[in-house]
C-alpha cells in the first residue's frame, strides 16, 4: 500500500507564509528523484482555495482540519463538507484530539461528521487515541476500541476512510510511544477494523504525535503503520521533506 504523509498546519501561518510553504513544497516535489508517498497538506479553512491553486497539477492533496456535521443551513461560523470539497480539498481530519478536548467533540459528533464528510465527497481521516490517564491506568486499548466503534458510521466501507492513531499525550509534546507500543496498538486497530468494516479494501492506519525528521523512518517501517500525521514538523519545509523521504517505497 502506498504510504501517507499528512501535514496538519493547524491554526498557523499568514496568507503569505502559507503560500510560501505550499510553493516550496511544490518545488521540492518537482525535484524528487524517487517515488513519493501520498502527500496531503491541511491548511486552515481560509487558505484552502489559495493552497489548491498553488498545488494545481501536482500530486499533492488537500485536507481540511474539520467540517460541520450538518450539510448546510443556519450554523453561523461552521463550514460544510461540501464547501470544503468545493474549495479543492479531497480529505478532512475529523475527531482530532484538539477538537475533542477544546470543542467538546464526542464520538457521536465525530460519527455525524464522518457521515457528512462522505456525503460531501470527502475522505475522512478519523483520529483516535488514548489520554495519558487512560494509558497509565491500562485502559488505552479499551479507549481506542470504543472510539473506533462509536466514531464509525454503520456500513462505512474500507476504501472510504483513513484512521490516524494519535496518543493524546504524544501530540506536541516531543514524546512518542515505543515502537513496540505503536506496533501493538496499530495491530489492535487493524483487528477491530476487520470486525467493524465489511471485507474488501484495507483501511490505511496512520500514526501521529511528535513525528519528526529523526523518528519518521523507524515509525514508517513499523508493521501496520501506513503513514504519519505530522503537526509541528510539517510547518518546517526541510523537516517535512525529510519525513516524506523517510517513507517506504
What's the closest the beta carbon of residue 96 comes to ligand PGA, in angstroms? 6
Contact flags string 147-166 toward ligand PGA, x per CB under 6 A: -------------------x
231 interacts with ligand PGA by CB under 6 A = yes
DSSP state of 29: H
Contact status: 229 vs ligand PGA (CB under 6 A): yes
Task: Please give the full DSSP string across 173-184, using - where no structure is assigned.
Answer: TS----HHHHHH
Residue among 98, 130, 166, 192 flagged as catalytic: 166
Count the helix, strand and coil residues of the chain and give each as a percent rounded to the nearest 5.
Answer: 45, 15, 40
Active-site residue, from 96, 98, 134, 186: 96
Tell me which of 13, 88, 172, 187 binds ligand PGA, using CB under 6 A.
172
- The 3-class SS string of 15-33 reads HHHHHHHHHHHHHHHHHCC
Residues 205-224 that bind ligand PGA (CB under 6 A): 208-211
In Å, what is the CA distance from 7 to each residue of 3, 173, 198?
Answer: 13, 17, 29
Residue placing its CB nearer to ligand PGA in the complex, 42 or 81: 42
**Is residue 96 annotated as part of the catalytic site, yes or no?**
yes
Distance (Å) of CA 182 to CA 20, 71, 186: 34, 35, 6
- Give whichever of 40 and 81 is closer to ligand PGA, judged by the CB atom: 40
Stretch of residues binding ligand PGA (CB under 6 A), selected from 45-53, 54-62, 186-194, 231-239: 231-239
Whether 63 contacts 125, CB under 8 Å? yes
Amino acid at each position: 500500500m502506498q504510504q501517507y504523509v499528512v501535514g496538519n498546519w493547524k491554526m498557523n501561518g499568514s496568507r503569505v507564509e502559507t503560500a510560501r510553504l505550499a510553493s516550496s513544497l511544490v518545488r521540492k516535489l518537482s525535484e524528487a528523484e524517487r517515488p513519493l508517498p501520498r502527500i496531503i497538506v491541511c491548511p486552515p479553512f481560509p487558505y484552502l482555495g489559495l493552497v489548491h491553486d498553488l498545488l494545481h497539477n501536482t500530486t499533492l492533496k488537500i485536507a481540511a482540519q474539520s467540517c460541520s456535521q450538518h450539510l448546510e443551513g443556519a450554523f453561523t461560523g461552521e463550514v460544510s463538507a461540501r464547501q470544503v470539497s468545493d474549495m479543492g480539498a479531497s480529505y478532512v481530519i475529523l475527531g482530532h484530539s484538539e477538537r475533542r478536548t477544546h470543542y467538546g467533540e464526542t464520538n457521536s459528533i465525530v460519527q455525524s461528521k464522518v457521515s457528512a464528510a462522505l456525503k460531501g465527497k470527502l475522505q475522512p481521516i478519523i483520529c483516535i487515541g488514548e489520554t495519558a490517564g487512560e494509558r497509565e491506568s491500562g485502559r488505552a486499548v479499551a479507549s481506542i476500541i470504543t472510539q473506533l466503534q462509536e466514531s464509525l458510521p454503520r456500513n462505512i466501507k474500507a476504501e472510504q476512510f483513513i484512521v490516524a492513531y494519535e496518543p493524546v499525550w504524544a501530540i506536541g509534546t516531543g514524546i512518542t510511544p515505543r515502537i513496540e507500543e505503536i506496533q501493538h496498538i496499530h495491530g489492535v486497530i487493524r483487528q477491530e477494523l476487520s470486525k467493524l468494516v465489511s471485507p474488501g479494501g484495507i483501511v490505511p492506519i496512520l500514526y501521529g504525535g511528535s513525528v519528526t525528521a529523526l523518528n519518521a523512518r523507524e515509525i514508517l517501517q513499523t508493521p501496520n503503520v501506513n503513514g504519519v500525521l505530522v503537526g509541528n514538523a510539517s510547518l518546517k519545509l526541510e523537516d517535512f521533506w525529510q519525513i516524506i523521504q523517510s517513507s517506504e517505497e
